[in-house]
Structure 1
């Protein structure tokens, strides 16, 4: 006799009788030989010897009932389940409503029994503690925690950082949308019944196997994210910037292989390549010292200082050579002198526009933006830039957005990166770059 019922107190929660299709009331009969789906009968059908397909009247059976004491005499298992459900529905301490929902016990009896057996019972408390520990271990295995030294970011909803984190919710240690989020849809209508043919049953089992494989892929991706700490993408990018540009490019290319090796091995690979680039740089510098006849590090310091002074002098001579072609234009000479004074003072020179060509003739007139697409999206300073540089507003907006995206991704932008990104005249690229720097839209690395 199996006296533990797996269903609630409500008769509508129990399956119907296979003989008369009425809802089961305890006690009722469960066939011990029919399966895998359970075969239930009420007492009336059982006494009549009801048989159906594989079920025979001489099969072994179990009597399903909850009319027996569990924790103390006088309280049946059915009343224990009713008390727990009432406390869950009405809340702890609301004993009046709990007794009203049970209908068979007073509020004093409910409170005394619950406090004695579920709160102050040492055996039950230790069982709860072990259950909590098991739940914590299970959550630790499936959640996406941060590294112990990381503070989980809590961005506002629909912010840029929230989109970078792919909808990750730190308070729940889970994603708002899972990978393959609709995998359960193919399984929701699958129901195993005894009337299924062998082919249909095999097809349903194959659907369940496919669903399990999709769940494994979801857990595998979560494990990669957890092991490599990829949730806080901004902090991950900041850590990458400590490497030289060559190592950053290598790190970006090798990130796809992080799923193959563990986080420790992947970090060792990047560190080893960073060390290799550093050693190559030092070897090249030592070869330069040897070529210059330097035999000590003290002489190397003097050599570096003199080299910087010599490069500054060469840069100034180059700028003077550039301005000689504008010597007949007083306005161009004045602009060059202001630019040189700004460089000597250590500040960024203001973007200037020289309106004459190398031969002393006037350059092309400013571009007329009237009627061009995108002009209404520009402010006055951007319109002036497009007129001087002779760049249509649509192209300028595309170049601006590309530079902003790259600056946001890298945390800064150099002129060489801007020139590699925008394949136009280098002078126009520099003017656009300097203008965006001055406006505060982008920042240097």
Structure 2
């Protein structure tokens, strides 16, 4: 019998590989198959490649790595599969195999290492924010478009509007509601979220307090490891998962609240990531059981705070790691429908990823751009006043291609309604001439 091409550290399991019956129900929902129509760039095609590698019939270099790298990891296929194939677990087993055993080209390796040297660290992101502000003030983007290679062009194009006051702001460690405490929660403030979307964290704290929650936000928290987990950097993910558990497990809270879809997905997976570690398995299981997306938690609580009217046609975009990976679809919509005046509309091809997918839009800029343009076209087709989505990566990716339509996190729209004011967009540079929706008592 031929030896497997995978090493012995958690390879894709034969049992999970055999679950796929190659029926094809996943094909219409797979972004890369929709772009290229290539069988090996579909979920069943990638499972076939894993099957061949597990049998030792192909190596990990070349085609295997190319097609696994091209996967966004959006998990739309998991939602679509009638056989319950756990493609998420297969992909998250295959990618570390590549990272350990495949020698990447120097620029590819350097670029990926640069991403992981910057994005998981808030202090480094704040330093980058200063450089980014200078970059934007000097209007260097046009020059960069002409001279930078595709990956660096994509990275600079995704740069959000930099506001140093927000980038260097800190959140209160504890916020108490005015009335009785209905629930005590801890908030993950995040990395990119806290530096470039700090206002989302502020709105999250306010809404939770208005709904009767005491909110603890530990200063010592860091990266949750989501980027590393989804990119196959297993040691990075393990390191940051353990640190996150250590930070939050000692807090006397009922739930750990997350307002970033990718982070929430990873934190719920800690129980699988650390399942084989006798020191951490039970701690990880207990931690993951407490994790809630902000919309999940709000949907569990009967609305307490008064909602003021906001007359707006609101398009909701399902972030993949919220809708597909976590199965949280009804809750965000239910929360938004508590706002009087909001007309909530879904998007055509809602199951297709926008092309953000963690670091995907930086390491695979061409297909990410095609998917971003496609998503922007589907948003324009429903002619909304606002776009709402629960992930900063989606806001950055869609904002690159969508002019004139303000974009918000769901909690920001709810916060504006509770406060009785007009919503303020997260992506102010993307607002065109369209009038903002009205908010009134």
TM-score tier (shorter): under 0.3
Q: TM-score, normalised by structure 1?
A: 0.18
Structure number with higher strand proportion: 2
- Which of the two has higher C-alpha Rg? 1
Higher relative contact order (CA 8 A, sep 6+): 2
Q: TM-score, normalised by structure 2?
A: 0.19
